[in-house]
Amino acid sequence: MGDKNSQLKIPLTDWASLTCALIWIYDSRVPSAAYRRNIASGQESVAWFVRQGEATVRTAKQEWRVRPGEWFFLPETDYWQDFTQDFEILSIRFKAAWVTGTPIFHHRDGIRLKGEDYPQLENKATPLRRAFAKHFPNQGRNLRAASAAPGLYFKLQRSLMSWLHVYAETLLAEGRVPTRLSPTDPRMLTVARYLENWPLREALNEDELAGQMNLSTRQLSRLYLNDFGKTPIRYFNDRKLLSAKSALEGQENTVKEIAFEHGFKSLSHFSTWFRKQCGQSPRDYRKAH
């Protein structure tokens, strides 16, 4: 047991590179609809607790029928989902990932659990939902657009971390092993933190970023690609796309507002960019989700 626990220990300096955020949480009926979910690079994790009805989730290799009283952590690959007309869930979309983009726990092939075996998952999710619903009643599925004063932010993070604590304990009990921060050039970790916090409405200034690291833009791209498998420009673009998709899946903002929030000066520019990434227009994506 001691050896196993020592293998799970991660340096505190590495934990400082873990990003935790709630993207959405809701507890309600879901319209009956069948559609394909295309998983973008850097996709956050999604957890369902089914209250009523059934869902069918299918990938190229596997199919699940998720029933009332079950938790399901959705797979990290493209999948097709279909709900019965009475489908009702507690849905949590969250990020618990290293600054490199790797989640702390993988759900590659999907994870299905009995709620009765892990009651604390629901018990901690309930106050989390209430806390965010109280302070952001109109944000729906796009908490990225929300803002908070320091006191409220830390209060909400405390609720989120309480649920993530149970989430981690649950997956450890299921034999899942947490990932680790990959050995990386310290300068590139700094760049990754910059990219994670760079405002999406502002264009990425790669020259400025490279200058802060005393590197040329070419050196920066090469080193970042070597450590993270993509260039800084690609990383930032993927982050912007993920945020735009999440905003479109909600109904709080118009497509034009979403375009401006993500740094596009015109709706046509945003539509062209989005279609190039996803193969469909923002409006069509919203209709399908």
Does 90 map to a domain? yes
Question: In this structure, are 7 and 147 located in the same domain?
Answer: yes
Contact (CB, 8 A) for 276 and 79: no
For residue 1, pLDDT beyond 70: no
Domain of 269: which CATH number?
A: 1.10.10.60
Boundaries of domain holding 72: 2-173
> Which of 115, 144, 173 represents a domain boundary (last residue)?
173
pLDDT tens, residue by residue, 44-83: 899 999 999 999 999 888 999 999 999 999 998 888 888 9
pLDDT at residue 231, as a whole number? 94
Q: Is residue 46 part of a domain?
A: yes
Return the pLDDT at 170.
97
Q: Which of 118, 129, 114 is nearest to 168 (CA)?
A: 118
Q: Is 200 in the same domain as 244? A: yes
Q: Is there a domain that residue 213 lies in?
A: yes
In the chain, the percentage of residues whose pLDDT exceeds 70 is 91
Tally the domains of the chain: 2
One domain for residues 157 and 284:
no
Q: Does 181 reside within a domain?
A: no
User: What mean pLDDT is predicted for residues 251-262?
Assistant: 88
Would 179 be classed as within a structural domain? Answer: no
**Residues 122 and 202 both lie in one domain:** no
For 178-190, what is each residue's pLDDT tens digit?
998 876 788 988 8
User: How high is the pLDDT of residue 52?
Assistant: 95
Q: Look up the pTM and report it.
A: 0.80
The average pLDDT across 134-146 equals 76
The stretch 246-258 carries a mean pLDDT of 84
Q: Once rounded to an integer, what is the mean pLDDT over residues 109-117?
A: 95
Domain assignment of residue 265, yes or no = yes
| 38 and 135, same domain (yes or no) | yes
pLDDT for residue 206: 92
* 156 and 258, same domain (yes or no): no
| Domain end marker among 144, 173, 202 | 173
Query: What integer best gives the mean pLDDT of the chain?
Result: 88
Q: Which residues contact 34 (CB under 8 A, 6 or more apart)?
A: 80, 81, 82, 83
